[in-house]
Amino acid sequence: MSQVIDEAVFDVLYLLQCSEKNFSSELTIEELCAFLYLSCLVGVVDKTPYSNWGYEFYLADGEVTSTSILDAVNYLRRRGLIEGTNERSRNLSLTDNGRRFLGLITGNAKYHMRTQYLSYSSDTTLFSPIEFILRGIYGNPELENSTTKSSARAVLGSSARKRIYRSLLNICARVGLDEDDKLIATLSWITYNNKKLDEFHHAG
């Protein structure tokens, strides 16, 4: 049995709580992984070492995933802390026990920094539809590049992190934004990726 990563358990619970507050909707496992990838990316841009995140992400069959997140989801389901809410149990939400458990662990100092990144990621949905956010995440060249979709591979490597960081700084400089405003910077990056996708499709 795979070891359950504490950070992944916390992230799943916390992001599901954020989703309840922000757009009153459950998340599929695929959406959960994408938003946790975005949370990690915001942390990386904020100069939090990727190695400190606690677990890694992969691109498999064109979707961001993480074995640690999947293990955490299964663990939390078995404990009755989250549940599937549609006929195929693909939409996830917190149970009352899950909310209570999250309340107990949220004060743990090791989770303090990551809560802001998880919140930034979820808060993007207050400004744009979730479909737009997801399209912007996958419009990131690291994930959009078709050569990375044939088999599972790690993402957010050193060179990719540098490219994304430079891209975000350039976008902020172009439109006169403060890159220290992580939410606005993230939204600008997502909007830029959507715009590039639109330009590509129009050109085609």
1 found inside a domain: no
Check residue 2 and give its pLDDT.
Answer: 63
Tens of pLDDT along the chain (204 residues) come to 468 999 999 999 999 999 998 865 678 999 999 999 999 999 988 888 898 999 999 999 889 999 999 999 999 999 999 998 665 556 899 999 999 999 999 999 999 999 999 999 999 999 999 999 999 999 988 787 545 445 678 888 888 788 887 887 788 787 777 777 888 889 988 998 898 888 766 665
What local confidence, expressed as pLDDT, does residue 77 receive?
94
Tell me the CB-side half-sphere exposure of residue 3, using CA atoms within 13 A: 5
Is 160 within the bounds of a domain? yes
Instruction: State residue 166's pLDDT score.
Output: 82
> What pLDDT, on a 0 to 100 scale, did the predictor assign at position 109?
94
3-class secondary structure, 87: coil
Tell me, yes or no, whether 73 lies in a domain: yes
Token pair belonging to 197: 């996708």
Q: Is residue 95 part of a domain?
A: yes
Contact 84/77 with Cβ under 8 angstroms? Answer: yes
**In this structure, is residue 197 part of a structural domain?**
yes
Residue 32: inside a domain: yes
43 within a domain of the structure (yes/no): yes
Amino acid at 161: R
Number of domains in the chain: 1
- From the number of C-beta atoms within 10 Å of its C-beta (0-12, 13-18, 19+), residue 2 rates as exposed
Domain span including residue 129: 6-203
Whether residue 192 is contained in a domain is answered as yes
CB 130 within 8 A of CB 40: no
